[in-house]
Amino acid sequence: MKLVVLGLSLSSSWGNGHATTYRALLKAFAARGHDILFLERDVPWYRGSRDIGEPDYCRLEFYGSIEELRHWSDKIRNADAVIVGSYVPEGVEVGRLVQRLARGVTAFYDIDTPVTLAKLERRDFEYLSPEVVPGYDLYLSFTGGPTLRRIEREFGSPMARALYCSVDPDAYPVLDVPKAWDLSYLGTYSDDRQPTLEKLLIEPARRLPRLRFCVAGPQYPEGIDWPDNVERIEHLPPSEHPRFYAASRYTLNVTRADMIAAGWSPSVRLFEAASCATPVISDEWPGLDSLFAPEREIVLASSADEAVARLSSRDSAALGKAARERILAAHTSAHRARELEQHIQEAAAARFGAGQKERNVKRNEEIVLVTGGAGFIGSNLCDRLIDEGARVICVDSLQTGRADNLAQHEREPRFEFVEHDVIDKLPQWLRGGRVKFTHIYHLACAASPPHYQADPEHTMLTCVVGTRNLLTLAEETGARLLLSSTSEVYGDPEVHPQTEDYRGWVNCTGPRACYDEGKRAAETLAFDFLRSRRADVRVARIFNTYGPRMRCDDGRVVSNVVCQALSGEDITVYGDGSQTRSFCYVDDLVEGLCRLMRSDRAAGMPVNLGNPSELTVRDLVNLVLAMTGSSSGIVRMPLPEDDPRRRKPDISRARELLGWQPEVDLRQGLKATIRWFAKAENRIERPLYAEQPLVVAAE
């Protein structure tokens, strides 16, 4: 996307924490493929203290007045998102200008949220005023917790989301340097922080004259009585922060009074010091324990006695190591860049997407179209939707789906089946908004290699033409569309496990390309419709799925192995069986699809749905043989071309956005699958395409 940021400063870290925050965040955001323009007000106090040159991750430009800012009107107007930061000079006027011009998402990034809200209560509208808050589509806040709901409730923000500060761990590494201080503090002077600094650093320094202390930062008044063992550093540029922290046995975190009252307000020094594996002693405030585990990753102190006791001990190394591990797991700039992207996409969907209509639709008023609804996954999804009270129209060509899968709904008044190929124009009665669909689940496409390779042209057309037909229907009816994509877009992955950010390793001319590249093209269409605000879409990348209603001839490894074991035939293993898969039971997948469809947070991004529990094909075969009591032997065949060696989803995004993860363990799911296949009528299919190996499919 094209992003324009109007922030306090990117060029100078003198006397402010904004610059380091923006540098880390925007560098990581650019690494995700986005184009960034940073517009900074040219003011004397930062002009004389600039500590970076031209950044390589964004374009940095300066303006001298609101009138000069208008020279950038076209950039603001045509950006996908425009962010205005706190403490921007003439911020209220800047915000009004942005809200008038911008066609994309507008956001306010409050790096000083509790301070801002206190200023608003005092009617101090230095950079934000109550009337401009509702005009921002998104309020990004350094403070989380209850404050977010307050911003929405009291100030009318359409959407308030936490975007904490973070750290670039490459810029803040662990350094092996001699310890110069037992306790340090890095921060600009403020009246409300000084009493805590007195209590937790200056008083301990008086009591422990043999220890060494340091306070780095500008604007401290002349009259402070610094003990002789406290070193003062007036200004420390960001490039010297890692060495400063590394030279500290402990470092201190002191929080401003407004931020303590609000809670959930971490300062950047917490993350920077922890990234350097420097143990942190911090004052206490609500929400801190949601970021770091007290006594394991951080030390909390409320008195000089507690600070002295900690400084008198020597067990600090494990604390610093644990803190760095927490940073790498949750608080890097890469984490924040991904969160920013998600928040912008969520705001775009709320402002421009058809999903706005859907939010107020009651469950019993849902009218759902399911393409591919007679298939393995589609029929299980239809069952779920009917059980929830939706009206369901199922479209399927029955090329690979089976009418028997839907027999249970034959007399259901809320269910209707239409035999139709999505490549062809949809029936007129479905089009033109005549049926007011609220949701469209687009699952139509052969998903196993023997089936989709039998007619590769039809497979590609289903992915492209069929998807376009359904997206157009979503545009006409205002329905939200969920596209079932696949882990096959990752090809034979070189990254493991696979995150949604991985762009894949796909053979675009191989025998699987009709499906792999077809699904990639379908995703392109879906996101293009979303970006042009023609349809509200969700995209699920489905990994190996198994369960009742699979076909014996579908090429999925579970159905192959189970059917061969139950029939007493030799089990075919391709390659040496060391290739891995992660098997998700169909009920878990259907739950994930429903949550994704109904999520407003997951707009504009693919979401992996699968089970991250990885095992080899060889181990699966042994497990099925044991569970079925089969005496089948094993026959080895060459590994098919482009067959993935490893496949495992990273489902962090699904956990975060949907609160979803698989619940059915493999043995439980296999038991239900074996029971279903044990009925002879469910094993009547034989391999239709004997010349093609039954390889492992993605879904």
Token pair of 445 as six digits:
């496409």
Residues near 154 by Cβ (< 8 Å), separated by ≥ 6? none
Residue 259 amino acid letter: M
Among residues 165, 144, 179, 162, the alpha carbon closest in space to that of 277 is found at 179
Backbone angles phi, psi at 264, to 5 degrees: 50, 40
Residues 6+ apart with CB under 8 A from 675: none
Catalytic residue among 185, 245, 515, 585: 515
Q: Which are the contacts of 358, defined by CB distance < 8 A and separation ≥ 6?
A: 438, 439, 478, 479, 480, 536
Q: Rounded to an integer, what distance in angstroms lies between the CA atom of residue 363 and that of residue 340?
A: 31
Q: 194 exposed, middle or buried (CB, 10 Å; 0-12, 13-18, 19+)?
A: middle
Instruction: Write down the residue that tokens 């239709």 correspond to.
Output: 688
Residue 63 in 3-state DSSP? strand
Q: What is the CA radius of gyration of the chain?
A: 29
- Quickly tell me which residue has 């500290």 as its tokens: 248
State whether the Cα torsion 319-321-327-332 is positive or negative: positive
The DSSP call for residue 234 is S
Nearest to 593 by CA among 609, 582, 604, 605: 609
23 to each of 211, 545, 686, how far by Cα in Å? Answer: 35, 42, 60
Distances from the Cα of 176 to the Cα of 93, 173, 275, angstroms: 48, 10, 14
The gap between the terminal CA atoms of the chain, to the nearest Å, is 30
Rounded to whole angstroms, the Cα distance separating 692 from 640 reads 9
**Residue type, position 534, single letter:** R
Question: Residues 239, 260: contact at Cβ < 8 Å?
Answer: no
DSSP class of 649: B
124 vs 460: CA distance, rounded Å = 60
Strand partners, 160: 139
- Supply 420's token pair: 């139709």
136 catalytic per annotation: no
Backbone angles phi, psi at 339, to 5 degrees: -65, -40
DSSP for 109-125, written as a single string:
EETTHHHHHHHHHTT--
The secondary structure element, H or E, covering residue 606 is: strand 606-609
* Amino acid at site 441: Y
Residues classed as catalytic: 515
